[in-house]
Amino acid sequence: MYGRRKAKPIGFSNRDIPRRLVSVGVHYIVDLDNVDNDLIVDNDKLTEICNNSLEKGEATILDKMIHHFEPHGLTLLYLLSESHFSMHTWPEHQKIRIDFFTCEQNESKCISVIDHLKSEFESTSMKINILRR
């Protein structure tokens, strides 16, 4: 039909569309598969790896939460002044998932965190997705 306009979702207007999209941070989504059985059940070692990775990237840890699952498994959450970092393990599937979002403008610091993770999990299948947000 001629002259009909497309409906917009309620509460949406052209003013809501940013004129220029600005990236405020970088989001790293890291999938580790086929993680070594001895490593994936060693919660202390995994916590140490995360601590060292964030230290290498000069991240400022404001708070940290750790939850150990029985008989095995781990969830780590770091509140960073730059944003956040989390790790979740599934030892029964040999999988680890890491989520690292940072508003840090110095991308070399972010890459230091990821490079340290790569070196610690070098024998593991690793897939990294990077989102500019």
Angle between the 107-120 and 43-56 helix axes, to the nearest 10 degrees?
A: 150
Residue among 88, 108, 99, 79 nearest 35 (CA): 88
Catalytic (active-site) positions: 83, 88, 103
Residue 15 sits at φ, ψ, to 5 deg, of -70, -20
Q: Which two structure tokens, joined as six digits, stand for 60?
A: 């400022």
As a whole number of angstroms, the distance between CA 107 and CA 127 comes to 19
* Cα–Cα nearest to 100, from 31, 21, 14: 31
Q: Give Cα separations from 117 to 5, 14, 71, 104 (angstroms).
A: 51, 43, 25, 18
